[in-house]
Structure 1
């Protein structure tokens, strides 16, 4: 049995964790962006033992979406692959195709991938409401903006990135949106369908969690936070310099380009676990069989130490490479060995095989 993944996003963590638990790995790559997997982190073995890297076998396609062809799926089946979905997989491949026509078992919750799309009727916001979990207040009409808000919509040119911007009044909303429209950063259609939320002023914590159907327990494996361009460049500038920026530089972009690790003060840990437990219960009630394996609650903490969930990844989070191989203080201390999200996923597969419960961890 091999652990497979789309070669992007968090694939290195998935592959690293798999080889640590004794599995061979299979990465599906796109031509022109494959060298990370085919060269720089290619697995080398001596007598079966890994001495370098973590990616064993590679399938290179012209486009990621070609993974759906009968022939390419046949290659995955022939290699006895269990597939770990990441955001690149559900972004480059149509979710309906994944739900109905992808024949390879997914380690995780196939039907929950759709909930990540804000436009869906039963999106993660719908789940948060059902679970009575805290999230930023929605503003239905931009004319009602009377305090700092964030406007969430897609970037017009960068397929997977954000065209987010902030505004503290309707006047600022109009000025910034018109500027971004002129620059072709956003479109009128996306602006009309944008979600406007109260801005939570506070640090960001991405809670990298794991639910084991075998143990019926939730785990906090680690916490990461993001480096975003050009936002992080803006905050390093003195205020007078920020004010003097020209139109194209004034509004920062929220393109994630890296991650770092974090911990929470211990008095907040129980609150974090409660968030995870309520989310797991809601998914089990409304998206049977519910969340399986890795997921990420993306949160902000306000001045009164209240959590707000502003996004959810119902699969391996985008920041888990920061825990790759070394693990994270929480996962390591729980399992008494280096335990990243990728390794915990592979460890669950190994335990499921040993207990004859593979059917409980795949969909």
Structure 2
């Protein structure tokens, strides 16, 4: 994305008012950037207007994001994508939005397709659960996932091929049938830095999902709608493998998707009792799990900067340094 017409001394940082917007815009303001929150509903706009670190809150029609993007360019703003942006605006509009957007924008197309997502993880040489194309192939418990960034909505479990066939009869949306791996969930936060030429392990979290994490007493089918996140500090002996998978993923994106990773992303996994890791999903942008350390910083950020930093601050730090070094074209597409 061409930033030649931008005034780099008065850059603004913008995002959709949801998901990780508070963290992103707070971090941007702490680094001296003007901040803009784009709200899709009036009641949402009212909430975000109370925070002094947000300079402008726009009421906008997110279904016509091109118009919003053009206004953002006029405001000298760069844009930070997140999960709500992908869900509300859609990956097609996101690909075409004429505003400089953090990260590998083309990756949004892959993220919208569960089959392509798993293929990319396999290209990276990362251990993944098996994928089945039909109930007849399933030889044990499975989880069925719908395409797109839906926060786990619509996912369901099946114990065997008979139960799977029965439940799939009611599913009309694109989906993937994935082996259900037994273990504990762990979600790894990374930051790919063009400025420093490295991939950073930045944090980890656990998702809190309804109603699989609730007190259901076996009375209802488990569902996986994310309502929040819990902090996680990993065993240090796991970190080398987790970092290596993050690096391998970034390399695979460059080779298969054709653009460099830049900014935050996440690999979502199960850790089994033998300490092996199976990665079942990725998010090619900031994830809501990074909200767990907003305001006081990730414990892992101190390894790189000798001070705590949250992901919003990390993004702002990268933008500031990239602007100084003439590397903004490495950050934004």
**TM-score, normalization by structure 1:** 0.83
Distance in 2 (CA, whole Å) between partners of 1:175 and 1:358 is 51
2:123 equivalent among 130, 137, 151: 130
Aligned partner (choices 26, 30, 40) of residue 36 of structure 2: 26
Q: Determine if contact 1:152/1:164 at 8 Å carries over to the other structure.
A: yes
Shift of 1:168: 1.9
SS at match of 1:12: helix
**What are the residue-to-residue correspondences of 1:141-220 with 2, within 5 Å?**
141-153=134-146, 161-177=152-168, 181=170, 188-190=171-173, 193-220=174-201
Deviation of 1:176 after TM superposition, in Å, equals: 4.6
Q: Spell out, residue by residue over 1:263-289, the C-alpha distance to the aligned partner (whole angstroms, 9 max, x if none).
A: 110110000001001001111112222
Structure 2: distance between partners of 1:274 and 1:97: 33
Q: Is the 8 A contact 1:150 1:164 kept in 2?
A: yes
- Contact persistence 1:21–1:346 (CA under 8 A): yes
Residue ranges of structure 1 left out of the alignment (5+ in a row)? 44-53, 182-187
Cα distance in structure 2, aligned partners of 1:232 and 1:338: 30
List per-residue Cα deviations over 1:101-142 (Å, max 9, x = no partner).
x1111121111111111256xx22121121121110112221
Whole-Å Cα distance in 1 between the matches of residues 303 and 295 of structure 2?
14
Q: 1:35 aligns with which of 16, 32, 46?
A: 46
Alignment match, 2:76: 80
Query: What is the match of residue 7 of structure 2?
Result: none
- 2-structure distance, mates of 1:312, 1:293: 14
Alpha-carbon spacing, 1:129–1:138, altered in 2? closer, same or farther (3 Å):
same
Q: 1:110 aligns with which of 105, 111, 115?
A: 105
- Tell whether the 8 Å contact from 1:26 to 1:55 is kept in structure 2 after alignment: yes
Q: C-alpha distance in 1, partners of 2:79/2:127? A: 32
Q: What secondary structure sits across from 2:177 in the alignment?
A: strand
How far is the alpha carbon of 1:338 from its aligned partner? 2.2
Partner of 2:295: 325
Equivalence for 2:18 = 8
1:288 matched to 2:258? The reply is yes
Question: 1:97 is matched with which residue: 69, 93, 105?
Answer: 93
Match of 1:57 in 2: 56
- For 2:270, the equivalent position in structure 1 comes to 300
Residues 154 and 163 in structure 1, CA contact (< 8 A), matched pair in contact too = no
* Change over 3 Å in CA distance of 1:229–1:170 after alignment to 2: same
Counterparts of 2:147 and 2:324 in 1: how far apart (Å)? 44
Bigger mean CA offset, 13-22 vs 221-230: 13-22
Structure 2, unpaired ranges of 5+: 1-10
Across the two proteins, how many residue pairs are aligned to each other?
322
Superposition deviation, residue 24 in structure 1: 1.9
Deviations for 1:237-259, whole angstroms, at most 9, x for unmatched residues? 5xxx42xx2xxxx2122110100
Distance across 1 between alignment mates of 2:84 and 2:65? 12
Q: Distance in 2 between matches of 1:159 and 1:254?
A: 10
Deviation at residue 153 of structure 1 after TM alignment: 2.4
| Separation in 2, partners of 1:358, 1:153 | 35
Superposed displacement of residue 86, structure 1:
0.8
Q: Secondary structure at the match of 2:270?
A: strand
